[in-house]
Amino acid sequence: MAQMVHGFGGGTADGDASMKDLLGGKGANLAEMARLGLPVPAGFTLTTEVCNHYSDEGRRPPALEGQVAAAITRVEGIMGGRFGDTEDPLLLSVRSGAPVSMPGMMDTVLNLGLNDEIVEGLARRTGDRRFAFDAYRRLLQMYGDVVLGISGGDPNPFEARLEAKKQDRGVQYDVELDAEALEELVGELKSLIEEATGEPFPQDPRQQLWGAIEAVFESWDTPRAVAYRKIHEIPSHWGTAANVQAMVFGNRGSRCATGVAFTRDPSNGERRFYGEYLVNAQGEDVVAGIRTPLPLNRASKAAGPADISMEEEFPEAYAELDRIRGLLEAHYKDMQDVEFTVQDERLWMLQTRSGKRTGPAAVRIAVDMLDEGLIEEKEALQRVEPEQLTQLLVPVFDRKGLEQAREDGRLLATGLAAGPGAATGVITFSADEAVACAAQGSKAILVRIETSPDDIQGMHAAEGILTSRGGMTSHAAVVARGMGKTCVAGCGALEIDYATGVMRVAGKVLQRGDAISLDGGTGEVFAGTQEVRESQILRVLQGELAEGESSIYGAFERLLTASDRHSRLGVRTNADTPHDARIARRLGARGIGLCRTEHMFFEGERITSVRKMILAKTEEGRKKALAELLPMQRRDFDGIFRAMDGLPVTIRTLDPPLHEFLPREAAEIAELAQQMGVSTEHLQSVVAALEESNPMLGHRGCRLGIAYPEITAMQARAIFEAAVQVAADGVDVLPEVMIPLVAYEAELEHQRRVVVDTAEAVFAEAGRRVDYLVGTMIELPRACLVAERIAAHADFFSFGTNDLTQTTLGLSRDDAGRFLPLYLERGIYDGDPFARLDRSGVGQLVVLGTQRGRLTKPDLKVGICGEHGGEPTSIAFCHGAGLDYVSCSPYRVPVARLAAAQAVLREG
């Protein structure tokens, strides 16, 4: 750690953009810009190693002061003036800068080097007393907050004094305060500091500088920063750098300005220079929204023609900025987010970094830059976060409309953003109401305490689903995402009363039939209707819009086609209906990885047959009821097979416990009893007998098929009858029968025998065979541990990571909501384990299960069909674990395709 300080400025630098680990992102880019000859105020960076030294030793390294003093001398040489000098003072800023961006964690102190004497010198030297005291009051504010830790209250005590002063002078904006007012304010802020700390504001510029530097380093170990790093898996030993830089002033009169700009439009990716600036202001004024900023150029002026753009007001500085824009894009080969200051018409660059962008913008920019020859295909594929693609598929609320709704006080509550998109409709409190509402052509929002499989029809019919209970992987959330429906789940602020048809929230009472709007992107719930914009991509896929009419479809399609060229993992979909299967196929799914048959059991009159089966006392009675179901199941599979012509379709045999198919409420039981022609007492006793303490660990999965082989046989018959039927029509059908919840090899052996015997019988009857596979879901820890035995009876494995997570962690996804937020906050879980695969625990079992399964069958096909199959980090894990495919809900197929490609590209 010989060199602790790296200088930059004057057309050269001690570092460059590759040195982010040592200099932090901001410092490395300042050095890079200096090397490029861009107008960067001179300065120097204290390395991350210095930060670590502070953390470890609690004090600055011995040689540091000397190196800093030398660096300041160099800055003085380049920029003119002297730090601490009363006649020609140089002011400095200190900004933190970690190797990766940690938004909201960064500490900054500007205008260091002022004191009661120097401020007078600055006023004299610049001939601008107002500016000098504005700079001083800013220093006092930031130093007091960041270094001295005087905060609390909203606004904080410094802001409060500033506000009071503006009121006192009857002005609206800071900039309207004159020199005298600012001088008064400075006096008040100094008193505030002395009262709060018992010490006067330090008048020694060097003490100020070290105070700011050390505050930056200490900020690395605040609980907030530690928690943030834990969540984002940023190692603590990285440390942050501290950037000390000569101040340039955007607040020194009307020929000064400051602003931020993006080299392309961050909202839609268009190749236009986009930004905002403020005259006579310092950088934080733009971000803080103290005044409304002005547009950067004429092209951006549409909204407010009265505004004067920077292009008009500062034509030379703008031209220079525009030149630098091109230079930076060519150099960094990515859209840049820059901060700049204009001091007396002269442009200074304060920061450049890759700009944040929306999903559509990310796709557009990646594909455009590929076309422009700036980047190669592999690079383009890594420029889009897979998760961002979901933004291209969901309907969204108009942004202006949302702001208006918030202003109008129509934001009712915020729940979990559990299903994508935006939905507006009228409140319905039951599946039946939702269905009836939709049948009348109205848009319904299904509002439930929580949903159950009984509600499937209502969820289908509704525009969106709102629940007061349940987490990101509650029934409502999982099913909604599977359907691509908007869902806000676990919105605990709601009090729902089915009986009176009323929902209470935030002191308001909403009735059945009242309009509400759900934002699936934020989890916000609004009273009233909001204007919705439909996804272009889906309209193109559904033939409602020509490809050419969409601004984004072409880029989306090209990005995903490119993804498929690189990925090794296949992407399938979880789909239970021909409709879902078709959508998923259009979105690029190469087969169905999970077709749940139980949802089919709820539709229409089927549930009656299912209930007859459950109530039957004999195998004979069950077979009779199953015979009624057979043609309906066959029709389901027929449609799905046709939709997936040429692609494999994995069908899971019945999984949920039988009590899920029976009603629970006394009234419903009585009604059903009458319908079934049995006594209410009898039905009640059947329902009671089927009740389970822990249904998740109960009589379900293959345990049902073993107790009632006739159910498996009926399902297998429906599958194979449909298969030979569509095969006769020339469809290339590839059924894969999947047995759930296997823990013992004998279970799979038993169920496989039932399936194979049924298949052979159907083939013999039909005089036609089709190829098929029989495999199993691996969703219990024991199955992973004895995978080598289970593989002997399996043609494929598909990891059911939802249940595997529940059992490995001992965590019910329906109940986890109660402590999950606490666990995330404390960093015990580094993410919702149902959203993001727990690599350390569940991941070990996935690896083990795969390896052991392949010990027995080296070519065993292995996939994953839990919710994790659509989550990028989990997909990367599956790639690493050597799986063959992931399966996810239809609307996540594009995410998975891109993530699968990135997993390969990251291997290098």
Query: What is the contact mask toward a copy of itself in residues 751 to 790, using x (rule: CB under 8 A)?
Result: ----------------------------xxxx--xx--x-
818 binding a copy of itself? (CB under 8 A): yes
- Measured from the CB atom, the residue of 71 and 413 that comes closer to a copy of itself is 413
Shortest Å distance, C-beta 551 to a copy of itself: 45
Q: Are 21 and 27 in contact (CB under 8 A)?
A: no
Measured CA to CA, the distance from residue 531 to residue 483 in angstroms comes to: 22
CB count within 10 Å of CB 145 equals: 18
Shortest Å distance, C-beta 750 to a copy of itself: 7
Measured CA to CA, the distance from residue 793 to residue 749 in angstroms comes to: 6
CA atoms within 13 A of residue 3's CA, in its CB half-sphere = 9
826 binding a copy of itself? (CB under 8 A): yes
- Measured from the CB atom, the residue of 588 and 663 that comes closer to a copy of itself is 663
Known active-site residue 566: no
Q: Pull the structure tokens for residue 582.
A: 């078709």
806 binding a copy of itself? (CB under 8 A): yes
Shortest Å distance, C-beta 754 to a copy of itself: 13
210 binding a copy of itself? (CB under 8 A): no
Shortest Å distance, C-beta 383 to a copy of itself: 34
694 binding a copy of itself? (CB under 8 A): yes
- Residue from 164, 330, 678, 746 that binds a copy of itself (CB under 8 A)? 746
Query: Residue 354 burial by CB count (10 A; 0-12/13-18/19+): exposed, middle or buried?
Result: middle
- Measured from the CB atom, the residue of 85 and 814 that comes closer to a copy of itself is 814
Measured CA to CA, the distance from residue 202 to residue 377 in angstroms comes to: 55
Measured CA to CA, the distance from residue 863 to residue 592 in angstroms comes to: 11
Shortest Å distance, C-beta 491 to a copy of itself: 14
- Residue from 707, 728, 764, 855 that binds a copy of itself (CB under 8 A)? 707
Contact residues for 54 (Cβ-Cβ < 8 A; gap 6+): 60, 214, 217, 218
Residues in binding contact with a copy of itself, number by CB under 8 A: 50
CA atoms within 13 A of residue 823's CA, in its CB half-sphere = 12
Catalytic member of 6, 460, 475, 879: 475
- Measured from the CB atom, the residue of 701 and 894 that comes closer to a copy of itself is 701
Shortest Å distance, C-beta 682 to a copy of itself: 13
- Measured from the CB atom, the residue of 25 and 853 that comes closer to a copy of itself is 853
- Residue from 743, 755, 864, 900 that binds a copy of itself (CB under 8 A)? 743
- Residue from 829, 834, 877, 885 that binds a copy of itself (CB under 8 A)? 829
CA angle at 867 for the pair 865 and 868, rounded to the nearest 5°: 85
- The candidate with the shortest Cα–Cα distance to 493, out of 464, 466, 474, 529, is 466
- Residue from 439, 542, 565, 819 that binds a copy of itself (CB under 8 A)? 819
DSSP 8-state symbol, 201: P
696 binding a copy of itself? (CB under 8 A): yes
- The candidate with the shortest Cα–Cα distance to 896, out of 547, 584, 652, 610, is 584
CA angle at 421 for the pair 419 and 426, rounded to the nearest 5°: 90
Query: Sign (positive/negative) of CA torsion 409, 414, 419, 420?
Result: positive
User: Tokens 């190693």 — which residue?
Assistant: 49
Identity of residue 798: S
CB count within 10 Å of CB 436 equals: 15
Shortest Å distance, C-beta 497 to a copy of itself: 11
234 binding a copy of itself? (CB under 8 A): no
Measured CA to CA, the distance from residue 160 to residue 139 in angstroms comes to: 16
- Measured from the CB atom, the residue of 755 and 778 that comes closer to a copy of itself is 778
Q: Pull the structure tokens for residue 717.
A: 């018959």
Catalytic member of 595, 702, 865, 888: 865
- Measured from the CB atom, the residue of 292 and 693 that comes closer to a copy of itself is 693
823 binding a copy of itself? (CB under 8 A): yes
Q: Where are the beta strands (DSSP E) in 563-693?
A: 570-574, 592-596, 648-652
Q: Are 495 and 386 in contact (CB under 8 A)?
A: no
- Restricting to residues 834-893, name those near a copy of itself by CB under 8 A: 838, 840-842, 844-845
493 binding a copy of itself? (CB under 8 A): no
CB count within 10 Å of CB 730 equals: 8
- Residue from 827, 855, 906, 907 that binds a copy of itself (CB under 8 A)? 827
792 binding a copy of itself? (CB under 8 A): no
Can you tell me whether residue 426 is helix, strand or coil? strand
CA-derived radius of gyration, the chain:
32
- Measured from the CB atom, the residue of 167 and 685 that comes closer to a copy of itself is 685
Scanning 172-180, 387-395, 400-408, 689-697 for contacts with a copy of itself by CB under 8 A, the matching segment is: 689-697
SS3 assignment for 267-294: CCCCCCCEEEEEECCCHHHHHHCCCCCE
Known active-site residue 460: no
Scanning 161-169, 581-589, 622-630, 822-830 for contacts with a copy of itself by CB under 8 A, the matching segment is: 822-830
Active site residues: 475, 865
Residues that bind a copy of itself (CB under 8 A): 692-699, 701, 703, 706-707, 741, 743-744, 746-747, 750, 779-782, 785-786, 789, 803, 806-812, 814-816, 818-819, 822-823, 826-829, 838, 840-842, 844-845
